[in-house]
Amino acid sequence: MAAISYSVEEAREILLDQSITLEAHIYLEGRREEYVRAEDYERPDIILSSFRHIWSSAHPDWDWEKEEEEEGEGDMDYYRQRELKELQATYHWFRSNTRIRGGFKGLPHDVDKTKWTAEDVCGAIYKSAILEWVEAKSGFIPGRADGFLAEYRRARARIYKCLNADQVRACQRTADEWNGASVPHHIQVQNFNNKFASVCRAFTSMLIKDHGVFPFIFYIGVPGHDVPAGIYEVMRKEGLAAQTFRSFTKLDNVFQDMRTYVNMNIDMMYRSEAKIPPPVRSAQHLRAPEYEFRKADVIGGRVYLSEERLKDGWEDNSSHLFYQLVQFCHSSITNSKQTPPPWKALSEDPSRLIVPECLPGHPNRFGASPEKTLRDHRNAFIRHWFSQVGYLEFHHRFVKGGTFAEPEEEPWHALKKYDEDFTGQWLSNERTERGQRSTAPRTSAGLNARVKFGSDGPLVKLNSGSPYTRWIVPDQATWCDAKLDDPDDRLPVNQPQYHPGRPSWPAPCLLPDTMYARLQWGSQILEETGGMAATTLLDALKWLAQLPPVANYDYDIKFFRREPGKDRTWVIDSLPDWVTWGLDRCYVASQAEIDSLSAFLRVRAWSFLHEGKTRFAGVEMAWTIGLAAVLYTRALRHAEELSVRPPSRWSLSGGPEWQKQVRSYQFDLDNDDLRDIIRDFKCYMEDLALSLSVSGLPPSLLYCCHNSREHYVQTLASQATPLTELCQQVFAMPADGPAEYPSLPVFTGRRVWQQPQLGIPRSVYKEHLRAEVLSDAFSNPHIFLTSAGSSRGREAGLSALLEMLMVWTELTRLSSDTQGLPAYLRASGLTSPEVTEPLKESLLSAAAAHRLALGRVLPSGGAASNSPKSRERSGRDLADSDAISALDRHDIDIMGELRAQRRDIDGDVLSSRLRASAVQEAERQGRWKLNEQQRKDQNALNLAAHHVIHPVKPPPNPLVLPDLQDLHQDLLYSPSQPPEFIAPAAKSKRVVRTTAGRHRAVAGATDVGKAPGDATRSQLQRSSAVKRVAFRSPDPKRRGTGGTKKRPAEDDLGQLSSKNRRLARPPDIEEEQESFDLRAIEGSDSDIDSILPATISVPKVSRALPPRHNAIEKRTTVSRPRMASPGKEISESYPPAERSSAEKVPSGYSRDDEEDTMTDRSATSHSVPRPRPLPRRKDPSNPSKPGISTAFGSDL
């Protein structure tokens, strides 16, 4: 390949063709900072003076005041063109080198390590010209490794050689300055981005991931090079791209917008370095959702938690749930689901990020990740958040002590997210023209074009107590392939005038003259405004839209205004003339309008007094009052929002002068007074709407329950089979046919789609309606067909079919319920069955005739279907309609859908929670009253039966002991161990094994003689109802008879059930005995001894001692009396072992439980005789048989 030559002549031509020479460039560099810091009106003078300096330097003898005739005409044309070219070049130089405004502070001098030469300066100044020359000569472009750099250096050297001596010295002088402290800003930015930008990105990524901090790095003094489009648009929106920081610049808004930008573009840090973003450390936790989050639970930075939605068994693997709770709450304040929680910051000091109420305290701590957080600590956090606090909240701080505010949605009237004009202007960094706007900006037309009503607008949810809610049916596919537009929802032709510096809120004049459009506009404005007054006013407007026709429904508002020459009775002097639904603005423009609105609202003009009765002022007056209330509420909330930081986004619409004017307004009605007036208005509308009977969902509210008019008509037509078949034929009618049709006489001159009642209009009954005329109108053959016999349009067919369905509904209502009808219906002649039934038959026969006529005219029989075969037969028409439907669906506002979903859940979270709390409190009060009534009834029964409210509990039935006198002598025993009865010395002993597997020792011989008190003890055993329990030996070192060490009682606790284990107690705690004497009973001492013992000892357990492990508590010990001389009181009691043997066993305690809980220690005691077990209970009707002891039979 031959070498490319760059001639000197071409280089000189390039230099001569440059409008901004090297000297001019150096001069303009010195005035750049002056231009940036200047005000808008000063900039043209700087440009003009710079141009004059450049031109005068190139033309030293030029006279700006000389006349044209002094020079030749050709010379003047040349100079005039050259002057204009250099002026434009100077203007574009300032525009291209000073796009972003701000203070000029030099970057660090060490960012550039290059030694600048004069040739480098020449290349930097003529860079664009050199690039064009190289591309024209060689075809090489920058950024490709095909020799471009070598060719660029050759062309730069050729340009440098063509400079004169003065220019070379200027380049060298500039190079010396650049090597010092005055390097141009764009050169500094280039070197700074090449060497330090990656460090900034890494530092930013570390702060976001580890500490949850969003840093803002400002390139101070950068004139707009290499700035992302998003950041530039944010700065242009806040005024930074058009002006420097002024007194009215709100830095809070700048930081908030930049924070949102960083959240939405967090992965740009990795993409800019051509790296793949690493996976989130805890991303595996997102695979198994453990808790159901809802949008209504999020209020600002707080996420309310419901324990009912918590799954069972979450304690076993709580790391998933723990991660999701922290991640969801953290994303609610960062507005980015991609931002991971700052686990490192949480592990170091969680109080800096989470509110103190949500921290359970020591020793629970966060780990560096969910897995590194201990399981007990995770469970403690989750229990604290769900059970004790009920929410999880991160800190949400604002500058200057701002209060907590709920997140604001994007204004419903704002631009779409993917608007073409807005996106194109954003990506091209194009600025709006400066100066006074004579016409609306290019994007302002899109503001009004995006306002949609009717079926395309947002869904309005009716009140919970509305009678129309029972007519809501599930949505289903209609017979037609594409729904028709509502003709009443088309926007008016005349758009409102754009006022610069004023709020761009949608004006009422944009609304169609329909009730539902007004309700949609009011709901959107009031939901965006917020506050209790706005919520109550929205409920009032909903009740107003549901109001069926009443006596004064169509009352004209002109009767409440003064008119010259006419005497009005109910004139309202405070009624403002400017408050109409044709108003071209949605804001209050002056203090006088504020005063007029407050005076009008105080009148409460929705009703008036006539002949001693309160009458409704008409629906037109009610809608005017609603509009006035919306304007006043909006203005009051606007002034409040501008006084807090940060304000809502909708309140920032308008310039700073307008906001200053709004803050200066004085409101006669404060929030409390306004809320009282609106509450009265709402209650009056609600009472009026609920006092009237409704027959069904009217056409004016069809979009509250249906998605299209076709679905509404299809639902009404399902009442009768002929009407359903006619509905199928109507859906098959062509969409582009004639829209005119002969209306029924009852709907002539009325808009059928805006009727507030499903049925015949009320005013028709005053016109002496005749059944013959209505019957003839049904059979008119030209309702669905033209006079030529062709089919009308689908719009005409839908309207005509709706009229027939409304008449059918009215006739069905008249024939079914004649008692609850209003007075105007009972007085009409249609209520008799002789008239109603023939009309219904005539309507059905006419519907069948119309169906047959349409079937003969429409192609393929007119059967509309959504089946695949019918779609194949329809061909290209249906494909085109599907494409149009797809485009329509794509054109739907995304934010509008989100707002509709949020309204479906619940628009007002606080009100729903208050209602739920009120319902819970009412249920609790109801349960308390029910329990109180039951207690009263029980007390009355007790008084009648026992003469006391709380009768004494009757004692339990006595326990009957078996007769043991003829079997054995009275032996001592202990049920806590296998009883072993040791015989006296030198006598053998035999062991008898029980069925439980334990052995007992029985004496080999019994004593022949008996003690004097044996008879008395036998009578006590036979007659007493006390169950005896032996006393346990406290010595822990006793051994058994076989020499083996006995197992302590604590070892037996592991074999007990949970019910019996709590009854066991250690045996090494003694009891204190408290004895008292009984009064002598009349009679002989022998009688006394044979009936009662002399002393009853009650065990007294100290409260300071721990509970025992046996069942000795609350038992009574009966002492054994001894024989004493007459007259002497017997005070001796049994030994401890005998005394404990007669203690009472609590009711419900089993003997088997006692045997399991006792040990074998007492069997080795040598201080007392060996005890024996207590005989089991026996039926007194079945006496014991002689022989071996029946106390230990085979049935134990």
Task: Say whether 628 sits in a helix, a strand or coil.
Answer: helix
Residues 509 and 496 sit within 8 Å (Cβ to Cβ): yes
- Residue 129 has a pLDDT of 84
pLDDT, mean of residues 501-519: 85
Show the tokens assigned to 437.
Answer: 């706007």
3 state SS of 614: strand
Residue 624's pLDDT is 93
The angle subtended at Cα 645 by Cα 390 and Cα 101, nearest 5°, is 130
Q: Cα separation of 169 and 864, whole Å? A: 87
Q: Specify whether the CB–CB gap between 544 and 608 falls below 8 A.
A: no
User: How many Å is the Cα radius of gyration of the chain?
Assistant: 49
Coil vs helix vs strand at 1003: strand
**Has residue 997 got a pLDDT over 50?**
no
Query: How close are the terminal C-alpha atoms of the chain, in Å?
Result: 118
Please write the tens of the pLDDT for every residue from 298-347. 776 688 888 888 887 788 778 878 888 888 888 777 656 666 778 888 88
Q: Would you give the distance in Å from CA 37 to the centre of its chain?
A: 46
DSSP state of 552: T
Which residue from 625, 627, 651 is spatially nearest to 639, judged by alpha carbons? 651
Q: How confident is the model at residue 779 (pLDDT cuts 50, 70, 90)?
A: confident
- Measured in degrees and rounded to the nearest 5, phi and psi for residue 749 equal 80, 10
pLDDT over 70 at 394, yes or no: yes
Residue by residue, DSSP assigns 35-60 as HHHS-GGGHHHHHHHHHHHHHHHH-T
Residue type, 855: G
pLDDT of residue 221: 38
982-1021: b or e for each residue (b if 16 or more CB lie within 10 Å)?
bbeeeeebeeeebeeeeebbbbeeeeeeeeebeebbbebb
CB contact at 8 A, 817 and 757? no
- What gap in Å lies between CA 976 and CA 121, rounded to an integer? 109
Question: Residue 627 above 80 pLDDT?
Answer: yes
Average pLDDT over residues 386-408: 62
Query: pTM for the full model?
Result: 0.42
Q: 615 has which bridge partners?
A: 608
Rounded to whole angstroms, the Cα distance separating 830 from 840 reads 11
Q: To the nearest whole number, what is the mean pLDDT of the chain?
A: 68
Helix (H) / strand (E) element for 1100: namely strand 1095-1100
Q: Is the pLDDT of residue 1134 over 50?
A: no
Which residues, 6+ apart, have CB-to-CB distance to 948 below 8 Å? Answer: 942
Of residues 606, 576, 581, 445, the one with CA closest to residue 521: 581
Give the whole-angstrom CA distance, residue 464 versus residue 8: 87
- Residue 992, helix vs strand vs coil: strand
Q: Give the tokens for residue 34.
A: 């002056």
Which residues are CB-contacts of 1121 (< 8 A; sequence separation ≥ 6)? 1013, 1016, 1089, 1093, 1094, 1095, 1130
* CB of 55 closer than 8 Å to CB of 86: yes
pLDDT attached to residue 633 = 94
Whether 855 shows a pLDDT value over 70: the answer reads: yes
Q: Are strands 999-1003 and 989-993 parallel, antiparallel or unpaired?
A: antiparallel
In this prediction, residues 1146-1162 reach a mean pLDDT of 45
Report the C-alpha gap between 1021 and 1118 in whole angstroms. 11
Q: What is the pLDDT of residue 502?
A: 84
Residue 613's pLDDT is 82
The answer to whether residues 103 and 220 touch, using CB atoms and an 8 Å cutoff, is yes
Cβ(555)–Cβ(608) below 8 Å: no
Sign of CA pseudo-dihedral 847, 850, 856, 861: negative
Q: Would you say residue 761 has pLDDT above 70?
A: yes
Helix axes of 118-125 and 127-138: crossing angle, nearest 10 degrees = 80
Is residue 1117 within a helix (H) or strand (E), and if so which, with residue range? strand 1117-1118
Concatenate the DSSP letters of all residues of 751-763 into one string: -GGG-SSSSS-GG
Q: Hey, what amino acid is at 361?
A: G
Report the distance separating Cα 841 and Cα 847, nearest Å.
10
Confidence of residue 1097 (pLDDT cuts 50, 70, 90): very low
Nearest partner of 1021 among 1133, 1111, 909, 1118, judged by Cα = 1118
Is pLDDT of 1037 > 70?
A: no
> Is 641 a residue whose pLDDT tops 70?
yes
Q: What's the average model confidence in pLDDT over 1036-1061?
A: 47
Mean pLDDT in residue range 268-290: 48
Domain boundaries of the chain, sorted by first residue: 8-183, 187-271, 291-401, 464-690, 718-866, 913-954, 989-1004+1012-1036+1047-1123+1131-1192
How large a percentage of the chain has pLDDT more than 90? 4
What DSSP line would sit under 633-674, residue for residue? HHHHHHHHHTTSSSPPSGGG-S-HHHHHHHHT---SS-HHHH
Per residue in 338-367, pLDDT (tens digit) is 667 788 888 888 887 888 888 887 778 888
User: Considering Cα of 903, then 909, then 910, then 914, what sign does the dihedral take?
Assistant: positive
Which amino acid appears at position 562 of this protein? R
User: d(Cα 147, Cα 669) in Å, to the nearest integer?
Assistant: 78
Q: What is the largest CA-CA distance in the chain?
A: 169
Q: How far is CA 172 from CA 116, 892, 1139, in A?
A: 9, 62, 122
Alpha-carbon distance 52 to 48, whole Å?
6
Q: What is the pLDDT of residue 598?
A: 93
Mean pLDDT of all residues in 761-779 = 76
pLDDT of residue 753: 87
Task: Report the distance separating Cα 1141 and Cα 488, nearest Å.
Answer: 99
Average pLDDT of the residues in 555-571: 75
Task: Using the Cα atoms of residue 423, residue 424, residue 428 and residue 434 in order, give the sign of their dihedral.
Answer: negative
- Higher-scoring residue by pLDDT: 413, 856: 856
- Kindly compute the dihedral angle of the four CA atoms of residues 88, 94, 96, 100, in this order, to the nearest 10 degrees: -150
Locate all alpha helices (DSSP H) within 732-858, ordered by sequence.
771-778, 794-816, 823-826, 833-857
**Length of the chain measured in residues:** 1196
What pLDDT does 949 receive?
78
- SS3 state at 429: coil
Closest CA to 801 of 481, 480, 547, 513: 480
What's the one-letter identity of residue 689?
A
The answer to whether residues 1093 and 1020 touch, using CB atoms and an 8 Å cutoff, is yes
Kindly tell me if the per-residue pLDDT of 275 is higher than 80.
no
The residue-averaged pLDDT of 1074-1083 equals: 42
- Low-confidence winner among 647-661, 686-700, 763-777 (lowest mean pLDDT): 763-777
Tokens found for residue 839: 């009309």
Which amino acid belongs to residue 913? R
3-state secondary structure 801-823: HHHHHHHHHHHHHHHHCCCCCCH
Query: pLDDT tier at 190 (50, 70, 90 boundaries)?
Result: low
Do 685 and 519 meet the contact criterion of CB atoms below 8 Å apart? no
CB neighbour class for 41 (10 Å; exposed up to 12, middle 13-18, buried from 19): exposed
CB 118, CB 172: distance < 8 Å = yes
